[in-house]
Structure 1
Amino acid sequence: MRKTIIVSNRLPVKITEKDGEFSLQASEGGLATGLGSIYREGNNIWLGWPGQEITDPKQQEKITRQLRQMNLMPVFLTQEEINNFYEGFSNETLWPVFHYMAVYARYDQGYWDAYYQVNKKFRDIVMQVAEQGDIIWIHDYQLLLLPGMLRAEMPEISIGFFNHIPFPSYELFRLIPWRAELVEGMLGADLLGFHTFDDTRHFLNAVSRILPVNTSANVVSYNDRTVVVETFPMGIDFNKFSALGNDPGVKHQLQNLQENFQQERMVLSIDRLDYSKGILQRLQAFELLLQLHPEYVGKVVLYMIVVPSRDTVPQYKELRDEIDKLVGNINARFRTLSWHPVQYFYRSFPVEVLAALYNYADICLVTPMRDGMNLVSKEYVASRNNNDGVLILSEMAGASKELIDAIIVNPNNIGAITRAIVDALNMPLPEQQRRMKQMRQLVSKFNINHWVKLFMTRLEEVNEMQQNMLARRVNQETAVLIRQQYRKSKRRIIFLDYDGTLVGFQSNIDMAAPDPDLYQLLRELAAYPGNDIVMISGRKHETLGEWFGHLPLDLIAEHGAWQKTKEGEWYQLPGLTDKWKQEILPMLEQATDRTPGSFVEEKSYSLVWHYRKVESGLGELRANELMNTLRYYTQEKGLQVLPGDKVIEVKNIEINKGKAALSWLNHKKYDFIMAMGDDVTDEDIFKALPPKAITIKVGSQVSAAQYYLRSHHEVRHLLRTLKTVHLEV
């Protein structure tokens, strides 16, 4: 029976040890709540580290049995693995780089080796329970290699991956020595999810720059698979936080807060100890508030909770010391006998206390330097049942893309945070309610269950799309059908594009000359009785003539402007003019002057701007600019602008590979027609040929062609199999 396997670094349990005995308690974190609807059902399972080093095999066996009753499965890690994989590579390499704090990153080979081995350990345990037809959903930055490792073992299985922290821009990601291995691992998934569109864009940019892959919009074509990259902003359990306000325990805590603070206005700050959270800047902003606005002395308090985290690591210990010092300085400078400006707690609190604080605080101050989503902001909003209160939110938190009715600030701008606090303290109740109502509606709708459902539905859609694409690939079965049609027919015509179809692309266009193997293949195909082989290319007719004039091939050059039968001489399409070039050429030359690595190629009746050698990104930018300019000038001149693979071509509208191919079909009756091409211009052939024709797109699955192949190597292989039919006959 089909099941869903959730994989994360940690299991949703708390393990406590007493006198050598371990006891388990289910965790109530946001992710555990949302995924509870999945992993607790049927034979579904959640797999991860239980959070403790357990080395005794008997204890491991006992805990495994207990966990299996909760639909959980443990991955036991040694202390050394925890140190190097989790504390090391995950938190000292990936965490700082992904949070734009690359100055703290350590690129240690030992860390990487441990990260690789632990991902392998996770793979082996997933393999023990995974079966064909299952869905695997992998979570977060500790397991970036796992999708690829599983894909290698189970090519047909459905894999989703979600990254819960930001994904950095390419300029930062490229600093990691193992960057290619990381993105290759991630691309093992069918669907990759990120919190924000920025993260999605950064990932797509990194992939296209690091690997030789094709990306189109949010789709990556990798290893003959379509990988979809989407944005899924994560939500919270809205109903839980909204209902907590009526909980007796929370009401009791709320009463205590009212007695302790009475007339004081509360600014709430809750964070884990981390340099990405902007805690020091928040304190500096509050200090500036008391300095510039003495009227708030004794009337406003900053209630700051910092949850302990990795404080044995030097950067974290240093950060904690700085927080302690700054809190001490503010309190020493501004406190009165009855008032402490900063109420600072370095510990975690139960959810009832947090809910009471969310309900009581006038302002929630959430200003991380960088954060994947930040659920504290959403928890505060969900708790405000009276639609009052003000949220001040960093523009660097993923939540800021959704909670646009918060006061949005740059966390590096201390003055702006101070002004935001003043604005929040003075915001009229109707304005508070207008903003909070909008945010509550959004947090209520896009809750954790909505997020889970959205991701799983999209994963199913992606798998369906992949199956449709797979059906179009020329596989062994399809190749047999093509050979059968070829064998039965008496008169055959095969249209072949050149660049990208029979040979790979070269940065220097003159270096893509035919090799002996290709000459031999074409010679044997063309020599067989009943075969007409037509080379149909955008290349100059002089070049095609030089390369293939000695072979018994028909040649169509410059997309159809020049044509030549195997027995005849070159002739050009009548009625063509090149007078337009004098107006268009300066535009292309101007683009060339602004773009190092680009050049202009002039053909008889077309001009081509090449940018294959241009820096990635810059070439695309200039190409888009040039396309927009050219479209404006060519609309009424009978010209066509064609974007190709790292080229833009301007040509007479009468010149068309489709028309040229049809003119060849008018000469004779063929009972086998096949066309293969890789470019936009080849789409004209695919559309023009009759329905019985076999049309094959090379290198892309998106096409009007019936089938597709991945590369020119596969094209040659298919043509060789046709050649072998001659030997069988």
Structure 2
Amino acid sequence: MKTIIVSNRLPVKITNNNGEMEFRQSEGGLATGLGSIYRQGNNMWLGWPGIEAADEENHDEITARLEKMNLYPVFLTQEEISLYYEGFSNETLWPIFHYHPTYARYEQSYWDSYVEVNKKFKEAIFKIAEPGDTIWIHDYQLLLLPGMIRQEQPNITIGFFLHIPFPSYELFRLIPWRAEILDNMLGADLLGFHTFDDVRHFISAVSRILPVHTSANEISYNERVVVAETFPMGIDDKKFESLADSSEVLENAAALRESFGSSKMILSIDRLDYSKGILQRLQAFDILLQKNPEYIEKVFLYMIVVPSRDTVSQYKDLRDEIDKLVGNINARYRTLNWTPVNYYYRSFPVEMLSALYKMAEVCLISPMRDGMNLVSKEYVASRTNNTGVLILSEMAGAAKELIDAVIVNPNNVGEVYRAIIEALNMPLEEQQRRMQAMREVVSKFNIRHWVKIYMDRLQEVKAMQGSMQAKHVEYQTLSLIETQYSRATRRIIFLDYDGTLVGFKSNIDLAFPDEDLYNILQQLIADPANHVVIVSGRKYQTLEDWFGKMPIDMIAEHGVWQKHKDSEWIKMPGLYNQWKQDIRPILETYVDRTPGSFIEEKSYSLVWHYRKVEEGLGELRANDLMNTLRFITVDRGLQMLPGNKVIEIKNVEVNKGKVAATWLDNMNYDYVMALGDDHTDEDMFKVMPETAFTIKIGSNISAARFFLRDYKEVRRLLKSLALKRSVNV
């Protein structure tokens, strides 16, 4: 068994030096963190090596040399790079995910290429993947890959991590292929994001766009449970700590100090992108010099912008705007010995960056939207003397962790300007207090910690999925159930009604018991060792009409009403139903909008039924209704339960599991069985003893130990058990 890491690019740079290919491993944060995985044993990292597929004569040599580094290439053509990477990835997904929808282009050719390249990655994976392997996929270029792999290998372990923000539902829904993207993302077992906001946006999108059931951060889809969770990415803190005190960095820092004298440095490092807030940062610095001329020759902005896609119109325009604004500021404020903005449009080696981190009194990081932003963490890790001030945008994922930074809204240029003044004048003691706290966070939650907690959680999710994959009751299981039934002297059998004992009818009043069901129940209760309990969401009056003359215990409305055989109905104390006047009007609006849906009112609950609604429309409206009610119900102490073609709102105290547990407390049973078909029955399964035969109807994702496909299989099982009694008499 091995782990295969998959990303758009391999962590390697291949250069052609006079006909000789040179291979140099990348030193980026992700490459460093995942090095502990892909360099071990027969683990692999799969991705595009940066060489066009046209250079076919070099493919075999490149592949052979990469495999020695535990790397495996996926070669892309120039057209694929243009349409899949520069097109769909960076002109459709990137602007939407970074909240710039006006820049997004929805070209069918982009999407078609994106699908084909994701398929190409899938085929490459299957050349090296084996049963039992773990596949960890990274970032927005490969959103379709988890689902494509899952389709061909249903049991393989798949992790996915998104390194950019996930947008709110209102933005994500703009993408024409939104459902296909989400459907394939849910092929993963564990979906990782940088912040809780990203997780929340993702769950909101899947619950509104796809017919899925979500509970907290768990998503039930295609008979699987998928988990979406927050894993803030860290850096190699030790690397930046040791770099800061290396001889080369100290020499660079001394040279910088000699160039700039006693002036205070405000450091800004970004890739050229409209999501980075570079123009707003320059505007704030302009205001600083304009309103506070005493800072002239005392402070300077050292701004590095790393080139990126400047042939694309938006990026070219942005670069031109930056050039104009920098030129304008320098033209107005420059003196003979001082330049206010030292602007560099190029990348720097890490030793120079470390020297800049070491020297800068202030680091200004103010993106309009960013997944994490590791520059802020690199600055903090490099400040080994615990001085310096970090100004950080609240829109960067890092702001959720580095709470001792000066946090700003990058859209508020005045606020950024005031933050610069605060940073320049911050007392040394406060600088040290803030920086020390941030350094502890960066050290504890480093890149190694990020990799470990993600991989540990992935294994936990697979174990949870395994425990929830209930087994179908086939010959061997049936034999076990029957054998223990025959040996037992005191049995209790909990039976849900709708979907368990009878099939679903479009009209709920037509789902009454038939002669066959009455015969089965009569045979079961004829055995004095059996104690039969019907546990239903139905009204107690309905259950009384149907089963009141039989010596059967009944639990109605999920536990609101209870009746032991030969006694009267008893209501659970302490319930109230005044909340109905607030909830019912909301349900009525959904009835008006959804032909075929209707409301059922019970003593202490309201139920919205959509069993008569057109397929697809009902699920869509149900998801919308649950999102509408989610916060209203929590505020009123209510519980919202999605069932089979129903959504029920009831008091939070009402729970099938709690009531069923009271039946178990009263007697010492040596055989316990519980059967149910929907979400409400999960509470009942969870309170049953480990030895109980818990059986979910219609799904194998359950806390139950076993499952049956439909009510017909339930009846066959109950008939076979009833016959066992007659054999033993």
* C-alpha distance in structure 2 between counterparts of 1:437 and 1:67, whole Å: 41
CA shift digits 1:302-323 (9 cap, x unpaired): 1111101011111111111111
- Matching residue of 2:595: none
Partner of 1:310, secondary structure, is: coil
**Is 2:608 the counterpart of 1:616?**
no
Instruction: Give the conservation status (yes or no) of the 8 Å contact 2:302–2:342.
Output: yes
* C-alpha distance in structure 1 between counterparts of 2:666 and 2:448, whole Å: 59
Listed as ranges, the matches of 1:172-183 within 5 Å are 172-183=171-182
Q: Cα gap change, 1:476/1:212 in structure 2, threshold over 3 Å: closer, same or farther?
A: farther
Q: Cα gap change, 1:429/1:50 in structure 2, threshold over 3 Å: closer, same or farther?
A: same
Partner of 1:372, secondary structure, is: coil
* C-alpha distance in structure 1 between counterparts of 2:88 and 2:427, whole Å: 48
CA shift digits 1:153-212 (9 cap, x unpaired): 222222211111111112211222222222222222222211111112222222222222
- Matching residue of 2:125: 126
- Matching residue of 2:580: 588
Letter in 2 for 1:608: S
* C-alpha distance in structure 2 between counterparts of 1:727 and 1:121, whole Å: 57
Letter in 2 for 1:573: E
> What TM-score, normalized by structure 1, do the two folds share?
0.85
* C-alpha distance in structure 1 between counterparts of 2:655 and 2:319, whole Å: 72
Letter in 1 for 2:507: M
Instruction: Give the conservation status (yes or no) of the 8 Å contact 1:658–1:686.
Output: no
Structure 2: tracts of 5 or more residues without a match: 592-597, 610-621
**Is 2:361 the counterpart of 1:369?**
no
Letter in 2 for 1:261: F
Instruction: Give the conservation status (yes or no) of the 8 Å contact 2:563–2:570.
Output: no
Partner of 1:267, secondary structure, is: strand
- Matching residue of 2:247: 248
After TM superposition, give the deviation of residue 327 of structure 1 in Å: 1.0
Deviates more, 1:424-433 or 1:527-536: 527-536
Q: Cα gap change, 1:408/1:665 in structure 2, threshold over 3 Å: closer, same or farther?
A: closer
**Is 2:556 the counterpart of 1:558?**
yes
Instruction: Give the conservation status (yes or no) of the 8 Å contact 1:485–1:672.
Output: no
Q: From 568, 573, 589, give the equivalent of 1:573.
A: 568
Instruction: Give the conservation status (yes or no) of the 8 Å contact 1:657–1:685.
Output: no
Listed as ranges, the matches of 1:420-499 within 5 Å are 420-470=419-469, 472-474=470-472, 476=474, 479-481=477-479, 484-485=482-483, 495-499=494-498
Partner of 2:297, secondary structure, is: coil
Q: Cα gap change, 1:653/1:228 in structure 2, threshold over 3 Å: closer, same or farther?
A: closer
Q: Cα gap change, 1:541/1:120 in structure 2, threshold over 3 Å: closer, same or farther?
A: same
* C-alpha distance in structure 2 between counterparts of 1:697 and 1:208, whole Å: 23
After TM superposition, give the deviation of residue 106 of structure 1 in Å: 1.5
- Matching residue of 1:511: 507
After TM superposition, give the deviation of residue 252 of structure 1 in Å: 2.2
* C-alpha distance in structure 2 between counterparts of 1:171 and 1:497, whole Å: 39
- Matching residue of 2:615: none
Instruction: Give the conservation status (yes or no) of the 8 Å contact 2:48–2:76.
Output: yes
CA shift digits 1:526-556 (9 cap, x unpaired): 698979997542323565688x689999794
After TM superposition, give the deviation of residue 341 of structure 1 in Å: 1.0
- Matching residue of 1:633: none
Listed as ranges, the matches of 1:332-343 within 5 Å are 332-343=331-342
- Matching residue of 1:678: 678
* C-alpha distance in structure 1 between counterparts of 2:511 and 2:705, whole Å: 26
Partner of 2:135, secondary structure, is: strand
Listed as ranges, the matches of 1:208-357 within 5 Å are 208-357=207-356
Partner of 1:355, secondary structure, is: helix
* C-alpha distance in structure 1 between counterparts of 2:219 and 2:572, whole Å: 41
Instruction: Give the conservation status (yes or no) of the 8 Å contact 1:290–1:297.
Output: yes
* C-alpha distance in structure 1 between counterparts of 2:216 and 2:390, whole Å: 34
* C-alpha distance in structure 2 between counterparts of 1:212 and 1:10, whole Å: 34
Partner of 1:358, secondary structure, is: helix
* C-alpha distance in structure 1 between counterparts of 2:570 and 2:242, whole Å: 78
Q: Cα gap change, 1:503/1:83 in structure 2, threshold over 3 Å: closer, same or farther?
A: farther
- Matching residue of 2:648: 647
Structure 1: tracts of 5 or more residues without a match: 566-570, 629-640
* C-alpha distance in structure 2 between counterparts of 1:41 and 1:502, whole Å: 54
After TM superposition, give the deviation of residue 665 of structure 1 in Å: 10
Listed as ranges, the matches of 1:11-410 within 5 Å are 11-18=10-17, 21-410=20-409
Instruction: Give the conservation status (yes or no) of the 8 Å contact 2:4–2:38.
Output: yes
Q: Cα gap change, 1:156/1:643 in structure 2, threshold over 3 Å: closer, same or farther?
A: closer
* C-alpha distance in structure 1 between counterparts of 2:352 and 2:87, whole Å: 33
After TM superposition, give the deviation of residue 364 of structure 1 in Å: 0.5
CA shift digits 1:563-582 (9 cap, x unpaired): 799xxxxx97256699x99x
Partner of 2:626, secondary structure, is: coil
Q: Cα gap change, 1:476/1:309 in structure 2, threshold over 3 Å: closer, same or farther?
A: farther
After TM superposition, give the deviation of residue 133 of structure 1 in Å: 1.8
User: Percent of pairs identical after alignment?
Assistant: 55
| Residues matched between the structures, number | 694
Instruction: Give the conservation status (yes or no) of the 8 Å contact 1:600–1:608.
Output: no
After TM superposition, give the deviation of residue 222 of structure 1 in Å: 2.4
Letter in 2 for 1:314: S
Q: Cα gap change, 1:365/1:654 in structure 2, threshold over 3 Å: closer, same or farther?
A: closer
* C-alpha distance in structure 2 between counterparts of 1:500 and 1:236, whole Å: 52
Partner of 2:372, secondary structure, is: coil
Q: Cα gap change, 1:23/1:541 in structure 2, threshold over 3 Å: closer, same or farther?
A: same
Instruction: Give the conservation status (yes or no) of the 8 Å contact 1:658–1:682.
Output: no
Instruction: Give the conservation status (yes or no) of the 8 Å contact 1:486–1:672.
Output: no
Instruction: Give the conservation status (yes or no) of the 8 Å contact 1:400–1:408.
Output: yes
